[in-house]
Structure 1
């Protein structure tokens, strides 16, 4: 090649400009794909208005907040034929700027579980969508005219063909199982190029639904639900997208024992790890797991937070620009993405009222409110002013929040030393004790905040004044082998102090899961001090229900100040009582008696559980919990007797403590009572459901509170009003 110097310079310049331009294009593409946040598309349930697409955002893949006040971002009636839209799957296109979403066209309240169509959607901004409904039997009558179930579509880009492949499960009428099919979308993403083909048939001949494919290093990982037969999410693997899938094994990939569905897998930004999430639809929760290889997963539920309850959704990484666009469009000034993080706060009880534009900050005992910095932080896309310490001692402080693309909004922020909840954290079934040995008060609760009431250890807290509580640590741990006869979850303790010779002994009774079978049973542990160490007996003390039904849970130990005899009460759905032997670790079987109060409904005083007995001025007060512990209506009722072994006469006005929904206090129950020594001064210690978690997981986000309990002149108990303020320190 012979060229003159000017010609050679021109060639070099052209090459330089070409590669510069190419570099610019690549740089722009890389910049466009610098994802640093996440979009979660989901629906919420099977009822009217719930089968609709909703959005949530996350900046880390672990903590999510619903956009648009958890309301739909698309009108199901406009984009579907049924009026319901489920199982949304969202995908970024190969060009980095086009988005594809597919969903099930199904309205369960009218159709049950039979449907015929799926929905294809396309967008360039995640806000405005071009949508198309494809009715499978009508579009392909010869091949699929007999199909009556078209479920859970998803989309993946096929690099080999340069096309978008949609795949979903279908079922023919009759006994045939669900099979996953696929079809390539046309260029407009408004239809299919040809009739669907079979993609995956479960070799165990079980129904195969909710397919979810992700590609990693040239290998395709195909997660799906085995709906019938052995339940759970299975994994098939292939080096080709449309064929050749084999199963490493038929074990469940998910980490549940309950039935699950709707797997959604995505790669974390700037990480080599993947998240596999799925819908634990049998008990209304979502589970998140993490894996480096898409085959071995660990549960990370304790790292996850959501202020909504999703059903079968998917997560897609997004850019800062896309995040801000979604915030500007769907973030609401009455549902701020903010939190207060100061260590002096009772963080679980910070209340943000978007309608009234107020925030209340409950602080721990001893916090200086004249210069308190709540450390209010906002999610990306929201600014907050002022910052730093403020004087809350003189009343509310105004804070201004500005959402990107929106006008500023002002919230009135107050702070106060609220004494309820009394314990920081999630605890339930509190049993209170005044110790004559130490001159202190103690609370022994169930450890809560675990899914399905699965707390497995007990702690104790101490106080000089019933207000300032110190965590004294664990006293029994089922997983550590502290209780020879029990494993797994443990509930509802009770304790008594008894003078034995010149010393005091502490007898701690509790419900545990019996390793030899038979469910929950009651055992006892003994200590020389209120904080332990406690030594558990080798076998449970109470194994059977004298009523022939219900669980052996919720013990209450009581030493009769009149006779000096010790008694134990227990039961769920029934109330049993027995006298304890002198050793305090066994019962006099001949004294076992069923004392269940008669009559009542869940609305008033029907006995459920949580018995507690006190004695005052010649009367034995039997107090118990009504309704279910997960219900906002869970409350305390009472009756009286002239004997610690009954019979019980239900009080004329039996409700002692019940929810105050107007002030956001729910599920007030499973209590105990303490008398200030030497005074006719009484306090009720109970748990309530944390308001933020009222509908989250059946009420296992409970917290311990204390309020004053007073008697009328005729000896009846005055109704207790549950409060956030709580009580003043007791001298």
Structure 2
């Protein structure tokens, strides 16, 4: 049986995660060796060391040139090898690595150009928008790597092409929120032009309630309104669950704005014009069959698409289903086979869910953004995998009748949607 290890900066920074990793690592010398890699574009979280076949797989950003590539690994007192640039264009390169007390051994180092994960580190529950103000894409995730989802801050990332992402830093910290202390989860954002000025409304979970914060720029900083927007399950709902996982949606047919939310139940309501309160008389239970959490709504060709996640995020079978409706608060009709994103065992991808989607402006190109267990170690972590997730993106396509094609979760991800011609 293969023994798989992960080189993960975020995991090393978390004592809880480090303890988990220790269960799956028998050769700490190799682990520490490759952790020292300082090469730009190396996905340290996802390095895979196969000690049975003596193969080390190193995922890198797709745009890296590999003809003279240096992993920039620093030898230690226990390990020695020949450093320098290598040509990886022709395939794996053999390294002779000498480990104190174990002798010398040949290792094949394989470089893989992977677009996924799209963000460095541990993040989950991603939402995404294209901003008319910045002409950039912006991702808003849950900050992950905390046991029991105990994170207290949110960050954002921006990109001109959906493939190259910049860390724009912290956008909201719960220390600045008067009504909540922890469990910063699952944000959703929308851009709205009001009186000629762009405003950004950021809906998020904290202390298992839903709040809203406002900013004048998609990268924040966001200021909380001073109280929770939603605190309890709507009265009269048959399904039980938590008041979490907001999704905000603008209906292009009417210009109205809607909020959807719920774990265990799916609720929907029209937002008031202030964007920080709901029209209580419009609250409706929409819970479809096989629903758990993570509602996401988009509009295409006269249809309202509802996507949601099934099962627990700590379950390898966490997956995405969908249905459609003729209105934002209408009944949801689900196709017979409505699972569109799920685990891909043959390449080690598990726990795929809590998605959002994006359409490239002026093009009929759609993409789905989601999280998965961190690869390759997540599947070995048990329920801790649900606290160690990473954000990925793949293409989403439709049949002629409007149904969503099954999406194959991948390591390769997507290609840039445009060429970067300016500094950003």
Between the aligned partners of 1:570 and 1:306, the Cα distance in structure 2 is: 32
1:301 maps onto 2:15 in alignment = yes
2:60 alignment counterpart: 363
* 1:486–1:332 CA distance, 2 compared to 1 (3 A): closer
Contact kept in structure 1, 2:286 and 2:331, CA below 8 Å: yes
1:442 alignment counterpart: 138
* 1:695–1:332 CA distance, 2 compared to 1 (3 A): closer
Q: What's the offset of the Cα at 1:69?
A: 6.7
1:420 alignment counterpart: 116
2:10 alignment counterpart: none
TM-score, normalised by the number of residues in structure 2 = 0.88
Between the aligned partners of 2:32 and 2:129, the Cα distance in structure 1 is: 41
Decide which of 695, 712, 718 is 2:405's aligned counterpart: 718
Q: What's the offset of the Cα at 1:357?
A: 2.7
SS of equivalent to 1:509:
strand
2:211 alignment counterpart: 523
2:242 alignment counterpart: 551
1:539 maps onto 2:221 in alignment = no
Contact kept in structure 1, 2:3 and 2:50, CA below 8 Å: no
Contact kept in structure 2, 1:505 and 1:529, CA below 8 Å: yes
Correspondence list, 1:219-234, <5 A: none
Q: What's the offset of the Cα at 1:501?
A: 2.2
Between the aligned partners of 2:98 and 2:156, the Cα distance in structure 1 is: 44
Decide which of 375, 383, 388 is 1:701's aligned counterpart: 388
Q: What's the offset of the Cα at 1:595?
A: 0.4
Between the aligned partners of 2:285 and 2:53, the Cα distance in structure 1 is: 51
Between the aligned partners of 2:151 and 2:400, the Cα distance in structure 1 is: 41
Contact kept in structure 2, 1:340 and 1:374, CA below 8 Å: no
Q: What's the offset of the Cα at 1:374?
A: 1.5
Contact kept in structure 2, 1:521 and 1:552, CA below 8 Å: yes
Correspondence list, 1:252-651, <5 A: 301=15, 304=18, 307-309=21-23, 338-343=33-38, 344=40, 345-364=42-61, 366-376=63-73, 381=78, 383-404=79-100, 406=102, 408-479=104-175, 481=176, 483-513=177-207, 520-546=208-234, 547=237, 549-598=240-289, 606-651=290-335
Q: What's the offset of the Cα at 1:653?
A: 1.6
Contact kept in structure 2, 1:466 and 1:729, CA below 8 Å: yes
Contact kept in structure 1, 2:317 and 2:342, CA below 8 Å: yes
Between the aligned partners of 1:304 and 1:655, the Cα distance in structure 2 is: 34
Q: Larger relative contact order (C-alpha < 8 A, sep ≥ 6)?
A: 2
- Please, what is the CA RMSD of the aligned residues? 2.5
If each structure's strand is expressed as a fraction of its own residues, which one has the higher value? 1
* 1:303–1:615 CA distance, 2 compared to 1 (3 A): closer
2:414 alignment counterpart: 727
* 1:523–1:406 CA distance, 2 compared to 1 (3 A): closer
Decide which of 336, 339, 343 is 1:659's aligned counterpart: 343
* 1:587–1:372 CA distance, 2 compared to 1 (3 A): same
SS of equivalent to 2:67:
helix
Q: What's the offset of the Cα at 1:355?
A: 3.3
Between the aligned partners of 2:292 and 2:185, the Cα distance in structure 1 is: 15
Q: What's the offset of the Cα at 1:409?
A: 3.3
1:283 alignment counterpart: none
* 1:581–1:401 CA distance, 2 compared to 1 (3 A): same
* Count of residue pairs brought into register by the alignment: 400
SS of equivalent to 1:452:
helix
SS of equivalent to 2:182:
strand
Q: What are the Cα deviations for residues 573-600 of structure 1, in whole angstroms up to 9, with x where unaligned? A: 11010110011100000111110003xx
Q: What are the Cα deviations for residues 193-242 of structure 1, in whole angstroms up to 9, with x where unaligned? A: xxxxxxxxxxxxxxxxxxxxxxxxxxxxxxxxxxxxxxxxxxxxxxxxxx
1:27 alignment counterpart: none
Contact kept in structure 1, 2:80 and 2:99, CA below 8 Å: no
Contact kept in structure 2, 1:340 and 1:375, CA below 8 Å: no
Q: What are the Cα deviations for residues 296-355 of structure 1, in whole angstroms up to 9, with x where unaligned? A: xxx983795563349xxxxxxxxxxxxxxxxxxx9699x877424323211101112233
1:32 alignment counterpart: none
Q: What's the offset of the Cα at 1:401?
A: 3.2
Between the aligned partners of 2:291 and 2:193, the Cα distance in structure 1 is: 32
Between the aligned partners of 1:693 and 1:499, the Cα distance in structure 2 is: 41
* 1:304–1:690 CA distance, 2 compared to 1 (3 A): closer
* 1:353–1:536 CA distance, 2 compared to 1 (3 A): same
* 1:340–1:386 CA distance, 2 compared to 1 (3 A): farther
Contact kept in structure 2, 1:340 and 1:377, CA below 8 Å: no
Between the aligned partners of 1:645 and 1:300, the Cα distance in structure 2 is: 42
* 1:485–1:338 CA distance, 2 compared to 1 (3 A): same
Between the aligned partners of 1:557 and 1:354, the Cα distance in structure 2 is: 47
Q: Which has the larger radius of gyration?
A: 1
Q: What's the offset of the Cα at 1:571?
A: 0.5
Between the aligned partners of 1:652 and 1:507, the Cα distance in structure 2 is: 36
* 1:510–1:410 CA distance, 2 compared to 1 (3 A): same
Contact kept in structure 1, 2:373 and 2:385, CA below 8 Å: no
1:319 alignment counterpart: none
1:128 alignment counterpart: none
Between the aligned partners of 2:411 and 2:160, the Cα distance in structure 1 is: 20
Between the aligned partners of 1:704 and 1:427, the Cα distance in structure 2 is: 6
Structure 2 regions of 5+ residues with no counterpart? Answer: 5-12, 419-424
Between the aligned partners of 1:555 and 1:525, the Cα distance in structure 2 is: 13
